[in-house]
Every structure is written in structure tokens, then in C-alpha cells.
């Protein structure tokens, strides 16, 4: 019987006579000191007891062992029979992953014979040697698919070297792996049904309802409204949606999530279909759609929809935005921003800004990193508004480029302006407090600002910008005025100043600076120019802006002019329609500005639909992209992590090289051409 060791309670039970003999012997010796005769008698009885136990153990030892082994065998057979007929597939693997044993259910699932003793990887490719090695005494699970069914595979290490509660254990240091398969097919099926039947909340807004209605004759207005209602209802009736008109230009829609794939595949064709509605109106009718899904409850999904419609409107309208918890997707963004002729919103924002400024002790204005003329001009406009209220105002400016220097020098202390009118990020962080108003201009992305830490330290934030919103944006601003149809932030500020106060006065040099921002961002009134652009320019002209002075301030030196010419000369044409070039930063004080100017110049070449200029500066790759009307460069830049407008966009890329970014742009163009997003 060598090789068998009794364990646990059985071992102690069989050793009970030995324990009693030792106890009796000690007691007998103790009695000898009390009464010698009684002690000797007790010793004799103890010796007799030990002799009888020894004789009994030797006589029945083999029989006891056989009985115990027989019981263990029968017990093991019962266990094995239970495992063999176990409803859950079960198998034993060795350290190499070979199958040593499997029950009947595992045989059915695997489709192998019971004698199959090859690697488990031959049946389930997902269960590799590395997966088996990760199994410990705690179950380790992976999910896999086999014969169109889905399983959760649970692996657990079984060891035989320790002493447990077994009757006996085998000597040695062996370990095996137990594998159980839990069928998840039905569970996943019902989960999918549950997900498909979850309700999705959608908001549909008509972008230019008032403007379009005003163009139509009175007798046709009700007919136009009825046609719009019918197109919206018919589009959503195909997916069994509930459509309710909550206002004259707003709709609330609920449908099941299973239809989202259908809408996404069709890229929300309603956006293009609604543009064809003509009932005496000259301008196109456009819609914005905001969809919220997969919220913790229907209330959260409704909040997602409100956020999505806000993003759609903030990006210029005529598009659908889907917010799926943390993920945001955009559809139908190939359209020009809808210009609004009314300036009611500008008046409302001006009054709100005034009320905010009056309650604060100080105003700090900042634009985007490596500020341009538009950001500086907008900041100066805010400075003038704060001056009207008697509030100190500082403009955060970390880098003064060659294009900004003539403008900045015009606002020196000798000209009557505060010495601390322009400050850097460190100085701004030193003076900011809870009673400071931080105003962000010409960007709505926190990481692009001159000092992102300011937004973390101050809760009183105002955002004025003319770029389309993306998924990354300034969180919880007190006032957010984002109008993608505006030509520039300077245009927006010029409008706001007219309603801010009747006493706001701009000096000629201040009007020049704001006018210069409009001039630069419109490329001398050739890009994104609307009626309100000229109205804002006329206001600045009345304030004393002089075109000749502005032109002189914006002149550049010979080195900059030559560098821009070199960028154009070395441009490569991709697919016959895209100009891609590199701006060398050597010997240039403001290479990113030169890159943006060169991107504009490349559009003057016949056949070029979009241009991309890459500049490596301060350990980043700056991409300036431009187009005239056919290509939406914002879509391209968003895939690079940037953003912008339909015709003017850009991106800032870290930890990359010029060649890598160039390859990424070419790959994006190839993908968008294949997907039909770009038509050559």
C-alpha cells in the first residue's frame, strides 16, 4: 500500500489509539508517584491496550485499506459518472493543452471522439498555450465562437501537491487544467433583441425656417410647411418612428435602435432630400438632426440628443450628429453653413456678455496657440468692451508672430494703453481668481487655447468662435456664442460691440486691428463672405478703420515672401486635384503663418480642389488645409484630429513626422474617394 497517504480527518481517526496510548502512559506514570501499586497496575493495563491495538491493526490493516480504497473508487466512479453526464461541457487538459478527458456534452460540442487527445487549440483556436498558462486556481475566462454558437470558456488550474480534504492524495507535484464551456448564444440573442428594441431619441430642427418662410408668398407658406412635415414624417415612418412636431420648426422623434444601421447606411438621406423642397423659396431648406442613444435611461438619451443637436447647429447645420455615450459621429456635413441675416442672437449675446462682465473684477482673453490676427483682433474688441465698463482686461499672448508684431506694437504704453495689456500664460495663472471672467476667442477646443490651465482654474468662462464644433469642446461655459457661418471671430465681435453699449468707442488703430482680422480670415474678402461680413466691416470703417493702413501693417518681409514661393514651387499634386507641400521652418519667425498663406496661394492653380501645407514647428506638425467650394477640408482635418470650416481647416499633430502625416493625409483622401465622400 505504499504511495497511499491518508489525509484529513481520516488520518487522525486512524491514529486515535496511538494518541490514547500516549495519554494512558503519561497518566499511569503520574499515578506511580501518588500510589505505586495502582500506578503499576495502570501501566500494565496501558501496555495491554497498546498490544491489543497493535494486534488488531496488523490483523485488519489490509482489510481497512481495501475498504477505504473500495469506497474511494466507488466515490470516484460516482463523481466521474456525474461529470460524464454533466450538462455543461467539461474537459481536463494537461500543461501542454492536450485533452486528457472530456465528458459527453463536450464531445457533442467539439464534434470529436472521446479518444481525441490532441491539443485543444485544434478545436478552439482562441484557447492557445498562452491562454492556458494564465489559468490559476481562480477561474480565467475568454469568449469564443464555435459552430455558429457563442461560449464563455472558463479555465481553472487543478493541483494535487497540497493536502486538502481528500481521503488520500497521490505523491508528486502534478497540475491539470479544467475547462468548462458555458453556452452564451441564447443570452447574446436576447441581449441583441433588448438592444435593438431600446428607444432612441432624435431632435430635428429646421435651420433656416424664418429666412425661408419670409421668401415665400403668404398663400404658399402653409403648403411649404405641409410639404416639409410630410417629408420628415415619411422618412421616419419607414422605421416605425413616432414623430411629434413640438414647435413650428422643431420635431421630437422616438424609434427603436435596430433602425440606426439603416439610417447610417443611407447617411440620413433626409438631409439632401429636404433641400429639393421648392415652393417659391429661393434658398435651400436645411435640417439639423441630433440623436442620443445608449443612455443609462431615456432621460439620459434625451440629454444626449440635446447635446447632439447643439453640436449639429454649432457646426453650421445641415447635418446629423449621433451621440452614443462617449462617442460622437457626424453625417451629411458636406454643405455650406447657412448664413442667418438676423442679428437678434448677436444682440442677446452682447447683453449677456455685458451682464457677465459687470459682475466680475477682471477679464482675461485668450485665443488659440500661436495666435493669428483674427484672435488678436477679437481679443482687442473684448478689451474695448471691458474698458467701457471700467474693468481691467489682459490678453494672453505667448508667441508674437511676424504678422502680429506691427499690430501689437501699436498698443504700447506710450500710446496710452496699459503696460500689462498683453501677458503670457504664467502671468495669467498668477492673477486669475474666482471673480475673474476668462473669455476664449477664435477656438472652442480647450487644448488649442494659449493656456488650458486657465479653464481648469476658473468657472466663469465665455466662448466666442466661428469654427465648427467637434467632440472636444470647452466644458460648461457661462456663455457660448459659436457661429460657423461667420467669416471670422472679429466679425462676431464687431457685431457684439454695436449692441454692447451705445457709448463703446473704438479708436482708428483698434478698428484697424479688428478689420485686419476679418481681412485675413476672408483672404481679402474672397472666402466665407456674407452680408453681415460687409456690415461689420462698414461699422469698423465708420469707427475709423483705414484699408491702406491695414494693408501696410500686414505687409511681410522678403524672406517670408520667398519662403511662401518655395512652398508653392515644391508642391506635389495628388490624384490631380490635391496640392500637398511642406513649409520649412528654418530662418522663419512664423512658419505656421507662412504655411497658411501658402495653402491659400496653392488654390490659385488651375485644377487644384484642395491644398495641404505641413509645417514642423515647436515639436508639432501643423497642417493648414484650404479649398474653394468642392471639397470639405474640415472632414479631412477631423480625421487627423483637427477641425475648422468647409473651406478653411487645420490640425496640430504631436509625436509624428512630416512623412508620416503626409502619408496619413494621402490615405484619408484615398479612403474618402473610395467611400464616395470626395468626388473627383
Strands (E), 192-249: 199-206, 242-247
Least confident of 25-29, 332-336, 466-470: 332-336
Contact 404, 373 (CB under 8 A): yes
CATH topology for 344-553 is: inorganic pyrophosphatase (n-terminal core) (3.90.1640)
Least confident of 101-115, 149-163, 176-190, 202-216: 149-163
Kindly report the number of other CB atoms within 10 A of residue 338's CB atom: 20
Structure confidence by residue, pLDDT tens digits, 584-629: 877 777 788 888 889 989 999 999 999 999 999 888 899 999 998 7
Mean pLDDT on 92-115: 84
Question: What is the pLDDT at residue 207?
Answer: 86
Mean pLDDT on 409-437: 91
Higher pLDDT: 289 or 647? It is 289
SS (H, E, C) 316-367: CCCEEEEEECCEEEEECCCCCCCCCCCCHHHHHHHHHHHHHHHCCCEEEEEC
Per-residue pLDDT band at 2 (split at 50, 70, 90): very low
Question: What is the pLDDT at residue 339?
Answer: 56
pTM score of the predicted model: 0.61
The DSSP output letter for 486 is S
1 pLDDT more than 50: no
Task: Provide the pairing of β-strand 610-617 with 578-583.
Answer: parallel
**H-only helix segments in 371-502:** 373-388, 405-409, 425-431, 452-457, 489-500
Domains of the chain, by residue range, sit at 5-82, 85-192, 199-331, 344-553, 558-674
- For cell 470650416, what's the residue? 645
Residue 101 in 3-state DSSP?
strand
Structure confidence by residue, pLDDT tens digits, 49-98: 888 888 887 777 777 777 777 777 776 777 777 777 778 898 888 878 88
Cα separation of 530 and 522, whole Å? 10
Which CATH number, 3.40.710.10, 3.10.310.30, 3.90.1150.180, 3.40.50.300, labels domain 558-674? 3.10.310.30
CATH topology for 85-192 is: Beta-Lactamase (3.30.450)
Cα separation of 468 and 477, whole Å? 16
Cα separation of 264 and 261, whole Å? 5
Structure confidence by residue, pLDDT tens digits, 204-242: 999 888 888 888 888 888 898 999 999 999 999 989 999
Question: What is the pLDDT at residue 97?
Answer: 83
Structure confidence by residue, pLDDT tens digits, 337-355: 555 656 778 888 899 999 9
Cα separation of 269 and 291, whole Å? 15
CATH number of 199-331: 3.30.70.270
517 pLDDT more than 70: yes
> Which residues, 6 or more positions from 271, have their beta carbon under 8 angstroms from its beta carbon?
286, 287, 289, 318, 319, 320, 331, 332, 335
Amino acid at each position: 500500500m505504499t504511495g497511499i497517504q491518508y489525509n484529513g480527518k481520516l488520518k487522525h481517526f486512524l491514529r486515535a489509539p496511538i494518541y490514547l496510548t500516549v495519554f494512558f502512559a503519561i497518566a499511569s506514570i503520574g499515578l506511580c508517584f501518588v500510589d505505586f501499586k495502582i500506578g503499576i497496575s495502570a501501566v500494565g493495563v496501558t501496555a495491554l491496550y497498546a498490544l491489543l491495538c497493535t494486534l488488531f491493526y496488523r490483523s485488519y490493516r489490509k482489510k481497512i485499506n481495501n475498504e477505504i480504497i473500495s469506497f474511494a473508487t466507488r466515490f470516484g466512479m460516482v463523481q466521474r459518472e456525474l461529470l460524464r453526464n454533466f450538462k455543461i461541457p467539461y474537459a481536463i487538459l494537461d500543461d501542454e493543452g492536450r485533452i486528457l478527458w472530456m465528458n459527453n456534452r463536450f464531445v457533442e460540442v467539439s464534434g470529436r471522439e472521446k479518444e481525441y487527445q490532441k491539443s485543444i487549440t485544434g478545436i478552439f483556436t482562441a484557447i492557445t498555450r498562452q491562454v492556458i498558462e494564465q489559468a490559476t486556481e481562480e477561474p480565467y475566462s475568454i469568449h469564443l465562437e464555435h459552430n455558429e454558437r457563442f461560449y464563455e470558456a472558463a479555465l481553472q488550474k487543478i493541483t494535487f501537491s497540497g493536502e486538502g480534504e481528500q481521503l488520500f492524495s497521490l505523491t508528486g507535484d502534478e497540475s491539470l487544467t479544467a475547462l468548462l464551456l458555458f453556452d452564451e448564444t441564447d443570452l447574446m440573442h436576447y441581449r441583441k433583441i433588448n438592444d435593438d428594441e431600446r428607444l432612441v431619441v432624435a431632435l430635428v430642427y429646421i435651420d433656416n425656417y424664418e429666412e425661408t418662410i419670409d421668401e415665400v408668398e403668404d398663400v404658399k407658406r402653409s403648403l411649404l410647411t405641409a410639404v416639409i412635415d410630410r417629408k420628415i414624417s415619411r422618412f421616419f415612418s419607414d422605421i416605425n418612428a413616432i414623430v411629434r412636431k413640438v414647435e413650428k420648426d422643431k420635431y421630437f422623434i422616438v424609434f427603436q435602435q435596430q433602425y440606426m444601421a439603416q439610417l447610417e447606411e443611407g447617411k440620413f438621406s433626409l438631409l439632401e432630400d429636404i433641400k429639393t423642397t421648392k415652393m417659391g423659396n429661393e434658398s435651400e431648406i436645411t435640417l439639423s438632426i441630433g440623436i442620443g442613444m445608449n443612455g443609462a435611461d431615456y432621460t439620459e438619451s434625451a440629454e444626449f440628443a440635446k447635446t447632439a443637436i447643439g453640436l449639429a447647429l454649432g457646426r453650421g447645420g445641415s447635418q446629423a450628429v449621433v451621440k452614443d455615450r462617449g462617442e460622437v459621429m457626424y453625417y451629411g456635413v458636406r454643405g455650406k453653413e447657412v448664413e442667418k441675416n438676423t442679428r437678434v442672437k448677436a444682440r442677446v449675446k452682447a447683453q449677456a456678455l455685458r451682464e457677465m462682465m459687470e459682475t466680475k473684477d477682471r477679464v482675461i482673453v485668450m485665443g488659440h496657440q500661436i495666435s493669428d490676427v483674427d484672435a488678436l483682433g477679437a481679443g482687442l474688441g473684448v478689451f474695448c468692451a471691458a474698458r467701457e465698463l471700467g474693468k481691467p482686461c489682459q490678453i494672453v499672448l505667448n508667441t508674437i508672430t511676424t504678422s502680429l508684431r506691427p499690430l501689437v506694437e501699436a498698443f504700447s504704453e506710450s500710446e496710452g494703453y496699459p503696460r500689462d495689456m498683453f501677458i503670457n500664460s504664467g502671468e495669467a495663472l498668477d492673477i486669475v481668481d474666482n471673480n475673474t471672467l476668462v473669455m476664449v476667442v477664435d477656438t472652442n477646443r480647450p487644448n488649442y487655447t494659449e493656456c488650458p490651465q486657465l479653464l481648469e482654474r476658473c468657472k466663469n468662462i465665455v466662448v466666442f468662435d466661428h469654427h465648427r464644433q467637434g467632440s472636444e469642446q470647452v466644458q460648461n461655459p457661462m456663455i457660448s456664442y459659436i457661429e460657423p457661418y461667420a467669416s471670422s471671430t472679429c466679425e462676431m465681435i464687431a457685431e457684439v460691440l454695436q449692441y454692447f453699449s451705445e457709448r463703446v468707442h473704438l479708436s482708428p488703430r483698434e478698428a484697424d486691428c479688428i478689420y485686419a482680422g476679418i481681412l485675413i480670415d476672408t483672404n481679402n474678402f474672397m472666402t466665407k463672405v456674407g452680408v453681415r461680413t460687409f456690415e461689420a466691416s462698414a461699422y469698423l470703417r465708420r469707427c475709423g478703420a483705414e484699408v491702406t493702413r491695414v494693408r501696410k501693417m500686414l505687409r511681410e518681409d522678403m524672406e517670408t515672401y520667398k519662403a511662401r514661393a518655395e512652398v508653392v514651387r515644391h508642391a506635389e499634386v495628388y490624384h490631380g486635384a490635391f496640392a500637398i507641400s511642406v513649409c520649412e521652418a528654418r530662418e522663419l519667425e512664423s512658419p505656421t503663418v507662412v504655411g497658411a498663406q501658402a495653402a491659400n496661394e496653392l488654390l490659385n492653380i488651375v485644377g487644384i480642389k484642395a491644398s495641404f501645407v505641413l509645417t514642423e514647428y515647436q515639436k508639432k506638425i501643423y497642417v493648414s488645409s484650404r479649398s474653394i467650394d468642392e471639397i470639405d477640408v474640415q472632414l479631412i482635418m477631423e480625421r487627423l484630429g483637427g477641425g475648422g470650416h468647409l473651406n478653411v481647416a487645420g490640425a496640430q499633430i504631436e509625436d509624428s513626422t512630416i512623412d508620416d502625416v503626409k502619408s496619413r493625409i494621402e490615405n484619408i483622401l484615398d479612403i474618402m474617394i473610395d467611400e464616395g465622400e470626395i468626388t473627383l
